[in-house]
């Protein structure tokens, strides 16, 4: 099944903007499968995200864009999210610079991880 994410371009744009700011060396893209009918999940995210974070909802995939978050910080966030979602949370994650030093590489590697771990094909329009 292929999904077209019209907001994937927005993720690319925000990542490209961050590349111009040397203080933002670490960026994490985190994709989580969730039941979009459960509005408490979105409310909890809105209440707990930082002003610099962004999240996007695509069907039953929630994508978090976490600026200034390295792999260790992302693992900490994942552990907290597992408490909220339950241990059966399905996710895919990439971090910069480990999984991509520029926006296009990071997004391409995120697509690959989502396909591998969540069996979803995502592509830009």
CATH of the domain at 106: 3.30.70.270
Say how many domains are in the chain: 1
Q: What is the mean pLDDT of the chain?
A: 76
State the pLDDT at residue 52: 81
Structure pTM? Answer: 0.74
> Domain limits at 72?
2-123
Residue 42 in contact with residue 1, Cβ under 8 Å? Answer: no
Least confident of 65-69, 81-85, 94-98: 81-85
Question: By the 8 A CB rule, do 45 and 53 touch?
Answer: no
pLDDT of residue 9: 53
17 is written with which tokens?
Answer: 């903007």
- pLDDT at residue 24 in the model: 53
- Tell me: the pLDDT tens digits for 11-68? 555 555 554 444 457 889 999 887 777 777 777 777 777 888 888 887 788 888 888 8
> 69-102 burial by CB neighbour count: b if 16+ within 10 A, else e?
bbbeebeebbeebeeebeeeeebbbbbbeebbee
Q: What is the pLDDT of residue 83?
A: 79
């Amino acid at each position: 099944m292929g999904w077209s994410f019209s907001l994937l371009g927005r993720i690319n744009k925000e990542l490209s903007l961050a590349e111009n700011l040397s203080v933002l060396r670490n960026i994490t893209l985190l994709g989580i499968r969730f039941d979009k009918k459960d509005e408490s999940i979105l409310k909890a995210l809105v209440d707990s995200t930082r002003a610099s974070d962004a999240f996007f909802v695509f069907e039953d995939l929630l994508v978090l864009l976490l600026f200034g978050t390295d792999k260790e910080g992302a693992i900490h966030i994942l552990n907290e999210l597992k408490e909220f979602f339950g241990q059966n949370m399905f996710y895919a994650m990439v971090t910069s610079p480990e999984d991509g030093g520029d926006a296009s590489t990071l997004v391409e590697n995120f697509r690959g991880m989502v396909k591998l771990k969540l069996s979803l094909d995502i592509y830009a329009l």
